[in-house]
Amino acid sequence: MEVKANWVPADEVDSADYYVSEAPDGKKYALTAMHIISKVLPNWTWATFEHQNNPGRCDYTGCHDAYGAVVADVDANDVPDRPYSACAKNDALKAMMGSAGLSPVWEHYCLKGSQTDFVSATGLPTHLGNSVTEAGFADTSSCITCHARAAVNAKGIKTTPAGFVDPPIPALCPNPSGSCSPNGAPDPNWFWTNPGKLDHAAVAMQTDFIWSIARFAIGD
């Protein structure tokens, strides 16, 4: 399991509505967003959460929570970076959180969505992006596809610094001047020469969706 969290100084928000943690230097920070990924499935399970006050938290993909939210599906706003209504929790989730001893403040955090596969049953790319963590490229973001690019070569050196499409490809990237995330099924050319041919050869080995392994691997 891996957790990625985003924080702001607690005095920048109404900290009573946020989970607040104190750093070793005594400064307090409020949690605004987080990803949680878990290797329950071979391609992992991906979920992203945002504080209900985040402007744009349901932008581009909408918000989808089939279990915990009173309103399971929230459409994206026509104009980005606008507020969304609070994500009220249903009784089943409230009971689960209460039995776990969680503070009611966690009810202010909303599941934006989750991923378990690169594409839908009809072959469409799946998307998942947090307005904070993926700020600037949430319109193309796919957690599972980006992390699939985490890889090293035969010398243990990372084969790409990040999962972005670099340089941006106009057909894939709505804003070619900004960052753009690949989405959909992984490109075999990321990992093979002549993929699918009799003489194909591996040029990169995936590090099981974990960027930290590729980035901090000690090369030969």
Query: What distance in Å separates the CA atoms of residue 167 and residue 198, rounded to the nearest whole number?
Result: 30
Task: Please state, in angstroms and rounded to a whole number, the distance separating the CA atoms of residues 178 and 65.
Answer: 29
List the domain boundaries for the chain: 2-216
Rounded Cα–Cα distance for residues 69 and 128 (Å) = 18
pLDDT in tens, 83-140: 999 999 999 999 999 999 999 999 999 999 999 999 999 999 999 999 999 999 999 9
Nearest Cα residue to 190 out of 167, 211, 213, 163 = 163
What is this structure's pTM? 0.91
